[in-house]
Amino acid sequence: MERMGEMEQGMRIGMVATASMQWFMRALQATNMELRQMVGEAMLANPALEEVTRAEDAEGAMDADGVDDAGGAVDHDATRRHGEFMESLAAEETLASHLEGELRRSGLPAAVESAALMLVGCLDEHGYFDEPPAEIAAREGVDAAVFRAALAALQEQEPAGVGACGLQESLLIQLRRAGEDGDSPAVRLVREQWDALVHHRYAEAARALGVPEECVVAAAYRVSRLNPDPGSGFAQAERHVIAPDVVVERDAGGRYVARLTGENIPQLELSAEYREMMAEQADKPEVRQYLSRCFREGRDVIRAIAERQSTILAVAQAVVARQQDFFRRGRAELLPLRMEDISADTGLSVSTVSRAVSGKYLRCSHGVYALRSFFSASLPAAGEAAVSADAVQQQILRLVQAEDPAHPLSDAALEAALAEQGIAVARRTVAKYREKLKILPTNLRRRK
């Protein structure tokens, strides 16, 4: 792990050019699909870069910089290959790549744009945050004023409703974007009578808001026309098939270890044809200078991809080392884990760890999980080590699954049951976790 700290420092020193360092940081945060798009753009801009086909991959040998020096024959029909490649990317645009493009074209101050792009990397496939964005900004060391401007800029992008902490906030953003003021019936219904709206208790909401029930019904209809899933129009295929970045397997000693799958990671080399051209044009300084720049920038891209993979692997290995019980026995054994812990283990900065887990997935015997899901806040537990929020949610799920359908457990009863197990959780936290688990309220779970 000490080597990873040296590696990151080396990246910072070695990649003196701002563009090179930014390329690495973008590549690290990018999903595999987004990385392919970045590589496609780099190849179009740099004719010295070529992608190694899988057949060549098996035959060619990579040097220390990740450059194939085998000099084997390659497909030089670049126009056709690039055209087909970019067409496939256009059909697979993700929500993150769409938002990043819009933000980069918004003319934001550099600090605000950087913070907004960081926030995009923390959105889930629906366009929602998994954790409060203010906490993300604080962890990343973003100035409060810059954070507010970045979040506002993100929430102004299309599709309307992205950048929210959940459905309720997303609907409020959509109503505001549609011109509804803070006193409109629809806004007040969503903001002040959310529970009544969700359970269609319109008469109750009308009394609380002091308006006719017909007004509430009309407002509810208005809300029903909004989009509950702002990210639904992007990368539909990714929702059904997730190519994991990391696989966790048991080694001969019984410990669980992580390895990279390498799936969908483009393998690049420097063009043998352009190497020959450089030798042939040695007496033409301008041509040689241009080709030298292409090779230098091409090596930067190849190294950045290699460093991206090494960084993701180091972070995954550190996570797996700390979560051995999870891989042995399942989700209820997930321990509290902070990005600061993995930062200390690897020597990488917290922001680098955050980028490394953004949009990356891990496959193990229990299923496929987002790497970010292994980070969970701790909750107090009497007489034993702290437990993770995820483990508490799993315990709530078990309690509900075992309850008497005729007498389902209320949030208060769940709170008491957890307390008996030595887990101190407030009732409002129980309600929040129950909703996150898509468990209906007590009255809707009762079966006679």
Decide: 173 and 163 in contact? Cβ < 8 Å: yes
Least confident of 79-88, 95-104, 390-399, 432-441: 79-88
Q: Are strands 256-260 and 246-250 parallel, antiparallel or unpaired?
A: antiparallel
Summarize pLDDT for 406-416 with one digit per residue, the tens: 888 888 888 88
Summarize pLDDT for 37-62 with one digit per residue, the tens: 888 888 888 888 888 865 444 343 33
* Helix axes 110-120 and 133-140, enclosed angle (nearest 10): 120
More confident residue, 356 or 237: 356
Residue 157, judged by CB atoms within 10 A of its CB (0-12, 13-18, 19+), counts as buried
Q: What is the pTM of this model?
A: 0.53
Is pLDDT of 318 > 90? Answer: yes
Decide: 209 and 220 in contact? Cβ < 8 Å: no
Under DSSP, the state recorded for 76 is -
More confident residue, 444 or 113: 113
Tokens of 409: 């457990």
Which position has the token pair 């063009």? 271
Numbers of helices and strands, H then E, in the chain: 24, 8
Decide: 344 and 15 in contact? Cβ < 8 Å: no
Under DSSP, the state recorded for 358 is T
**What is the distance between the alpha carbons of residues 256 and 258, in angstroms, rounded to a whole number?**
7
**What is the distance between the alpha carbons of residues 446 and 144, in angstroms, rounded to a whole number?**
46
**What is the distance between the alpha carbons of residues 432 and 438, in angstroms, rounded to a whole number?**
10
Decide: 123 and 129 in contact? Cβ < 8 Å: yes
Angle at alpha carbon of residue 391, lines to 352 and 380, rounded to 5°: 90
Decide: 178 and 222 in contact? Cβ < 8 Å: no
**What's the rounded mean pLDDT across residues 365-377?**
81
**What's the rounded mean pLDDT across residues 5-33?**
64
**What's the rounded mean pLDDT across residues 226-238?**
71
Which position has the token pair 């990356």? 360
**What is the distance between the alpha carbons of residues 216 and 220, in angstroms, rounded to a whole number?**
6
